[in-house]
Structure 1
Amino acid sequence: MVRGSVGVIFGETGTLNFKFLISDSTAVLRGHYVKIWHETDGWILAQVMSIVRSSEKYSLEEAKKGQRKDRNDDRIVASATIIGSRDDRGLLRAPMSPFSPGDQVYLADDTLIRDTLGLVGDDMYIGLLEGTGIPVHLNVNSLVQKHCSILAKTGSGKSYTAGVILEELLDHNVPMLIIDPHSEYSSLKESASGNEGDLKKYGIKSKGYGSRIQVYTPADKSINPNADHLFRLNGVNLTPSELMTLFPDNFNSTHSGILYEAVHRLRADVETYFLDDIIREVSNNESKARWNVINLLEDINQLDILSPQPTPVEELMQDGKASIIDLKGVPPHIQTMIVAQLCDTLFEARKLGTIPPGMLVVEEAHNFAPERGYSKSSSSEILRTIASEGRKFGLGMLVISQRPARVDKNVLSQCGSQIILKITNPNDLKSISKGLEGVNSYVEEELLRLPPGIAMLVSNDIERPILVDIRARKSRHGGESVKILNKSSRKISPGTKKESKTEPVNEKKSQSPPPKRKPSRNPKKDSGGLFNKLFGSESK
């Protein structure tokens, strides 16, 4: 074996993949990047996709005895997928001819990995390429123009990762409007504390965004005491179309007709009318169905969401600032109505150029843009429109959800960047593999194994899906799970004997695990780094 080599290619090879015999069980791990010298294209980058280990001499009878003295005959074979190399024009090309059996395989250096994968930006720093010290950046213009999604099961770091993206957008002065159903993002105001080790690892410093974050609540401030302002929608001269967004799915054409008739009469009699006037006019209708309409309109009226002095969208979208619409305390059907009207106003203002280009952030997107067949939402149509047309007008969208299968596919399919953390639900995995670019069976397998904080990044700007160790938050994370029981608060129930710390004299101790075997070959220093955390070590 050539010095520095981690293996040698053998058997049948192709221009897309090959197999190589690993020289040492600790030399290379699944997911590692390797390089091979090609006779015409120079250094070629490849990635180890799987590793198998076998022994032809170790018989079943020996296995039954549970002992094995000699492991020098172990055969460790890795399968690798070829990524390619950059040509003179900077385009990624796979080799046109296969490698030769006997070619040496080496661990890839950071420069080759960075250049080949396209990790050359310096805009938005989101973390490190897993298993390396290579920083991963996203392009601000590409992220905003082509939209982005963050998908993960609960507890996998979805909100934490979203916070990292929001910090980077704020650092680049991108205006943002954040739909926040659970009061998770107001913590952006405060700097992080107690994670100095993590901050040092990623080369960043704690930072709060203070007054650059403004929190608005459609509810009462007694429910959201930390809100900076009340949020109100326009309540003057509402059109039937605007009011129809308030109607639930079980309302029919009869209810719509009652509403249209009431508004038509008001427009004929007065120049200015309010919701109270509409309710009074509906009550004059002779249909029994009017009571359902009145009941819904009165519920809206009591929430005080509609006002003659609505919150101007120009106030919500300002350079270098983020406005959070905190929906805590607002009924779900009213939340979708607020999002529908707000996003419609936002999109129209962007088309007219009255607000700067920016990003719309939609948390729990499966509630506001549900897939057809799961549920209906009055906000679905405008969010689909922004996803398909927002790029032309400089309005991007960041979609965040824990149930990818329940998010409108017309919305997800428009996202040029996908940040996917651990997913275990079969329907969600199937949805991701079908609806997102660059996702294959290998990616699905990885998504099942990802630990919290490790994300799969699929982007138009990066040549293939990569694993990213998401960096630490600069600001305080506001999405922590509430602890039900603290260890210090556990008490011994009355009548329960306290366990003795002294071991019984004749009682057998629990059987200790067998000692770890020594490697069959002289192990090299582990270069797996963070990959060991994800893939495990083959040397155990």
Structure 2
Amino acid sequence: MVVGFCVGEISLTELTFISDKMPQVGEYVTVDYDGKKVLGMVENLVRGNDALNIDLHDVDAIQTIARIGGSDYYIKGKVKLLGDVNDNLKLPRTPALPGTPIKLADKEILNEVFKVKNPIRLGTLVNQSDIEVNVEGNPILNRHLAILAMTGAGKSNTVAVLMDQLLSYSVPIFVFDMHGEYRDADFPNGDVNVIQPKINPVYMSIHEIRRLVSIPNSAVIQERFFRRAFNKAQSMVSGATAHTSNFLQLIVDILTKEANFDEDGNVGANVDKRIVDVINKVEDAMDKYGNLFDNNKGNILTTIKVGQVNVLDLSQTDESVAEVLVSHILRNALQRRKNYFHGGSDKTLDHPVFFVIEEAHILAPNKRDSQSKHWIQRVAREGRKFGLGLCLVSQSPKTVDHDALSQMNNMIILRLVEPEDQRHVQSASESLSKDLINQLPSLNVGEAIVLGLMSKVPTLVKIDEFKGRRTGGDLDIIGDLASFNESEEEEIESQERESLDLGYDY
């Protein structure tokens, strides 16, 4: 079916066409010339009327022309050329001639385009519900993924659909679950393994704990006191001779003995006040992070189950604790995967892991340094060499670290309205054209632009509805309040009946 004809100057990557029919943005078309069948995607459409041009200011004339010649409209569109379907979607070396017809792509061509080796089904084409959209699994796991959307656009459903599809390949998924959305989830293709947010200090580095205690690099004497106490405490815990489950308290006890307090525990003349400063900082950290440690817990990475969604439930922790956990786990995962590949240590992680980082704008902020951001950047840069994949999920793309986002070679972008969000995402993705960016505000709930190495072509997708169960989403506040008021009224009526039974008369 011919939908239009090429006009104007035509390049190797895009063309303009005029039509008397109305195709849809996101539809695929083909252009046949020079023995090639070039696939393209309609990225922009406008409708106009030469008689009703922008320079016409007479309202009566406009009404008359619209009444008499209102059907004399033209449709102008822009097509992004994607490649020759007969030559593995390689871009042609010569442009099409003006006047060349443009046809809607056949179903057979589209089915071939979305035929991949390790299919991950995301949904169907927005404009053609009979065309199934599959993306390639390996580029997602090797080259990372970002799922971005404004609140309520279908982001969580998209994450759940993706994870369920990955489970069909027995991928070990590790979710940093900031809001407890997945701890009670039910996935058709696999189980959920809930991991408690606890760290055995034996597996922490001194630099991680020193940051918790807020001892800066410039405080050389404090750092020396703390390092000595830390090493002794870790040796005691490793040797199973410690009688306390609070690692920080053990450090305080060691420092207290070294400080030589007087018999009443007061600071005397012989007490080194620099040690007292360290003790105070450790005790402050105990108040803030005391529930983070568990001396009886093994390395978190050893609790990962292959073929399951491993959920680290961070819903009851504050952001500072979440940052500690994320940086600790990613650092250990990267080091242990390096050990697995290069040897030299028996501390290895023997299988790949796909990390899903919810609320990426909190854990990898754009305008603030944090350890979690540092290790997200490291895994984003190095992880693909060692089988560590990342999925950054955020409803505030503009506040996600640009360097980390630019390492995501695949993107699923649902509705984004805010211009700054759009600019930030476009600057991080070479594949996202201005015309596609302009479509983001018009996407309906559950519709997304999919692009990157996982897909042969940019695609407008209607994401499948997740068939399992998860928590999260908007609360039914009106319904909850109605139930609350009903319960209150029932309680009052019950109390009145009890009073009447006792002989009280209202």
In which range does the TM-score fall when normalised by the shorter chain? Answer: 0.7 to 0.9
8 A Cα contact 2:193 2:305, kept in partner: no
Of 157, 171, 174 in structure 1, the residue corresponding to residue 171 of structure 2 is 174
8 A Cα contact 1:314 1:355, kept in partner: no
Which stretch of structure 1 is more off in the superposition, 47-56 or 451-460? Answer: 47-56
> Structure 1 residue 482: deviation in Å?
0.9
8 A Cα contact 2:160 2:466, kept in partner: yes
1:536: which partner in 2? none
Of 277, 284, 300 in structure 2, the residue corresponding to residue 289 of structure 1 is 277
The yes-or-no answer on 1:32 pairing with 2:30 is no
> Structure 1 residue 427: deviation in Å?
2.5
> Structure 1 residue 134: deviation in Å?
1.7
8 A Cα contact 1:423 1:429, kept in partner: yes
User: Residues 155 and 321 of structure 1: is their aligned pair in 2 closer, same or farther, counting only changes over 3 Å?
Assistant: same
Report the RMSD for the aligned CA atoms in angstroms.
Answer: 3.2
AA aligned opposite 2:429: L
The yes-or-no answer on 1:366 pairing with 2:361 is yes
8 A Cα contact 2:415 2:448, kept in partner: yes
Of 380, 383, 389 in structure 2, the residue corresponding to residue 390 of structure 1 is 383
For residues 278-312 of structure 1, the C-alpha deviation after alignment (integer angstroms, 9 at most, x for no partner) is 12344535136336513333225641x21222233
Which protein has the bigger helix share?
2
Tell me the distance in 1 between the aligned counterparts of 2:361 and 2:368: 9
SS in 2 for 1:31: coil
AA aligned opposite 1:275: L
1:263: which partner in 2? 227
AA aligned opposite 2:200: N
Tell me the distance in 2 between the aligned counterparts of 1:461 and 1:149: 12
> Structure 1 residue 14: deviation in Å?
4.5
The yes-or-no answer on 1:330 pairing with 2:317 is yes
1:69: which partner in 2? 67
AA aligned opposite 2:318: P
2:442: which partner in 1? 449
The yes-or-no answer on 1:276 pairing with 2:249 is yes
Tell me the distance in 1 between the aligned counterparts of 2:204 and 2:102: 69
8 A Cα contact 1:422 1:449, kept in partner: yes
AA aligned opposite 1:50: L
Of 466, 469, 476 in structure 2, the residue corresponding to residue 476 of structure 1 is 469
User: Residues 333 and 476 of structure 1: is their aligned pair in 2 closer, same or farther, counting only changes over 3 Å?
Assistant: same
The yes-or-no answer on 1:56 pairing with 2:29 is no
Tell me the distance in 1 between the aligned counterparts of 2:433 and 2:97: 25
For residues 80-99 of structure 1, the C-alpha deviation after alignment (integer angstroms, 9 at most, x for no partner) is 32515437652422350422
User: Residues 165 and 44 of structure 1: is their aligned pair in 2 closer, same or farther, counting only changes over 3 Å?
Assistant: closer
Q: Provide the TM-score with structure 2 as the length reference.
A: 0.79
Which stretch of structure 1 is more off in the superposition, 324-333 or 181-190? Answer: 181-190
SS in 2 for 1:391: helix
SS in 1 for 2:88: coil
Tell me the distance in 2 between the aligned counterparts of 1:349 and 1:462: 31
The yes-or-no answer on 1:434 pairing with 2:427 is yes
Tell me the distance in 2 between the aligned counterparts of 1:337 and 1:270: 18
The yes-or-no answer on 1:157 pairing with 2:142 is no
Tell me the distance in 1 between the aligned counterparts of 2:208 and 2:405: 26
For residues 69-122 of structure 1, the C-alpha deviation after alignment (integer angstroms, 9 at most, x for no partner) is 334651313223251543765242235042242x3332221223344x565455
The yes-or-no answer on 1:141 pairing with 2:138 is yes
User: Residues 15 and 323 of structure 1: is their aligned pair in 2 closer, same or farther, counting only changes over 3 Å?
Assistant: closer
2:287: which partner in 1? 299
8 A Cα contact 2:248 2:290, kept in partner: no
2:405: which partner in 1? 412
AA aligned opposite 2:68: D
SS in 2 for 1:174: coil
Tell me the distance in 2 between the aligned counterparts of 1:301 and 1:104: 67
> Structure 1 residue 343: deviation in Å?
2.0
Tell me the distance in 2 between the aligned counterparts of 1:63 and 1:486: 54
AA aligned opposite 2:409: G
> Structure 1 residue 436: deviation in Å?
1.5
> Structure 1 residue 454: deviation in Å?
0.7
> Structure 1 residue 46: deviation in Å?
4.8
Tell me the distance in 2 between the aligned counterparts of 1:270 and 1:414: 37
For residues 246-304 of structure 1, the C-alpha deviation after alignment (integer angstroms, 9 at most, x for no partner) is 246xx63466742541331564699415422212344535136336513333225641x
AA aligned opposite 1:81: V
1:234: which partner in 2? 200
In the alignment of these two chains, the number of paired residues is 449
1:80: which partner in 2? 78
AA aligned opposite 2:252: I
1:494: which partner in 2? none
Tell me the distance in 2 between the aligned counterparts of 1:175 and 1:52: 49
AA aligned opposite 1:235: P
SS in 2 for 1:379: helix
1:516: which partner in 2? none
Query: 5+ unaligned residues in a row in structure 1: which ranges?
Result: 191-206, 219-231, 492-540
> Structure 1 residue 152: deviation in Å?
1.3
Listed as ranges, the matches of 1:93-112 within 5 Å are 93-94=91-92, 96-101=94-99, 103-112=100-109
SS in 1 for 2:227: helix
> Structure 1 residue 323: deviation in Å?
1.3
Of 152, 177, 194 in structure 2, the residue corresponding to residue 215 of structure 1 is 194
8 A Cα contact 2:144 2:391, kept in partner: yes
1:500: which partner in 2? none
8 A Cα contact 1:34 1:48, kept in partner: no
2:489: which partner in 1? none
Of 293, 299, 302 in structure 2, the residue corresponding to residue 312 of structure 1 is 299
Of 118, 123, 130 in structure 1, the residue corresponding to residue 119 of structure 2 is 123
User: Residues 71 and 107 of structure 1: is their aligned pair in 2 closer, same or farther, counting only changes over 3 Å?
Assistant: farther
